[in-house]
Amino acid sequence: LEEAMSPSSLKLYEAQFFGFIPQTCMVRVYRAFQDFLNELLLVVEAVFVRKLSGTDPNGEQLCSRARECSQKLQIFLQERFKRLTCLMGTVLVNNVLSVPPNVLLPDDQPHKKYFQCLEEVLNLESSLAELQLVYQAEVCGRQALLAELEEQREVQEQLDGILRWIVELQAAWMQEGMASFHDSFHAVIGEVNKKRTGCGLNLILDNVSAQKCCEKHSFVL
C-alpha cells in the first residue's frame, strides 16, 4: 500500500475526475477490513471461552490461550488480506477507477478543440512574460514623466509669478515717474515689499535702506 501511495504512482487526472485519489479507496477498504477483523475476532474469542469454560477448570489459562490463538489468527488473516488487497488494488485502479484516453474533464475540453503543442505554449508564456516586463517599464516611465511634468508646472507657475511681478513693478514705476525720485523710489519699494511674499523673492529692502539710497542719489544729483 505504501508503494501504491507513492507520488510516482498517483493518478492525478483520475483524482480530478472522481474527486479522490483511487489509491485512497483501497486504503479505506483495507482499514475497514482491519477494524471488522478485530471486532470479529473478539466476538469469536469470547464465544470459544464461554463454550470451553465448562470443560476447562482453569479459566485464566483458557483466556490466555484463547487470546494467543486470536492474535496468531489475526496476523495470518492480515497477511493474506494484504496480498489480496494489492491484487485488488491493481485491478481496481487500472480497470475500474481509470479514465479512458477519450474522456476529458469539462475544463480540458478547450484543449482538445484548440490543440497546441508544448513548444507553442512555452513560446506564448515567454512572450507574455516579455510583454509584462515591457508594460511595467512603460508604467515606470509614465510615472517618471508625470513627476517631471508636475515639476515643470510648478516652475512655470513661479516664472509666471515673477513675470507678473515685473510687469506690476514697471507699471508702478511708470505711474510714479512724474514725481520726484524720492517719492517714485518709495512707491516702487512699497510695491516690491507687497509682491515679494507672493512670488517667493528674498528681497530685503526696508525704509532705512530706501532712505539711504535716496539721500545718496540726491547727493549725487
pLDDT tens profile 65-103: 888 888 888 888 888 888 888 888 788 777 777 777 777
Confidence band for 181, pLDDT divided at 50, 70 and 90: low
**In which domain, by residue range, is 155 found?**
118-220
Specify if 88 maps to a domain: yes
92 and 136 fall within a common domain: no
Specify if 1 maps to a domain: no
Specify if 113 maps to a domain: no
Structurally, how many domains does the chain consist of?
2
Helix, strand, coil % in the chain, rounded to nearest 5: 80, 0, 20
87 and 124 fall within a common domain: no
d(CA 177, CA 165): 18
Query: According to the model, what pLDDT value does residue 139 have?
Result: 94
Q: Count CA within 13 A, CB hemisphere, residue 217.
A: 13
145 and 92 fall within a common domain: no
